[in-house]
Structure 1
Amino acid sequence: MREVVASIGRDKDLDVLVNDPERDVRLQVAEWGRDKDADVLVNDSDPCIREEIARQGRPRHLDLLIDDPDYSVRSMVAFLGRDKDLDRLVADPDWRVR
C-alpha cells in the first residue's frame, strides 16, 4: 500500500516514505527525482536505489557513487559518460563496468 502512495508523489508523503523500511517504496521515492530525497538515498543500503540515484545524473552524487562497491552502480555512472568518470572507470577491476 505504501508503494502505491509513493507512486502518487505527494511531497508530504515522500517526505515520510524516503526512510521506509520497504525497498520498493524507497525506489518509488527515488524515481520522483527530488533533490532532498536523492541526498538521503545516495547512501541507501540497496544497490538498485543507488543505481537509480546515479541514473539521475547529479554531479555531486556521481562523485560519490563512482566508488560504490556494487558494479551495477558504477556501470550506471560510466553509462552517463562524464569524461572524468570514464577516465577512472576504464581501469575498473570488474569487466562489467569497463
Structure 2
Amino acid sequence: MSAFILAFRNDPTVNATEEEVAAWGAWFQKLGPAVTDMGSRVGATKLLGTSAGVNALSGYALVDAADLTAATALADGCPGLSYGGSVEVGEVIEM
C-alpha cells in the first residue's frame, strides 16, 4: 500500500449547501479505513505561476491504496465532482 493525496479544487466563491456537506460526510464514511488523514478544508489561497482557469485548492485528504489506479477509483466518487469541482490524485513520496 502507498499513500496518496487527494487535492480537492473548487470555485472559491461558491459555498457548499447542507446537502453537499452531508454528501462529503457520507463519501468519507464509504471510503472507511482507506482514509488515513481526513485532511482539512482550505481557506484563502494564492496561486503562483500561470494556471489560468484552474479552480482553487479547497481541501485535501490522504488515503492508502495499492496504486494510482486504485487511488483514482477512490477519488472518483468525490461529491465535489458533481458540482464543478475536481480532484487531483498524487502519490506521496517519502523523503
TM range (shorter): under 0.3
Greater relative contact order structure (CA < 8 Å, 6+ sep): 2
Normalized against structure 2, the TM-score is what? 0.24
Q: Which has the larger radius of gyration?
A: 1
Structure 1 or 2: more strand by fraction: 2
Normalized against structure 1, the TM-score is what? 0.23
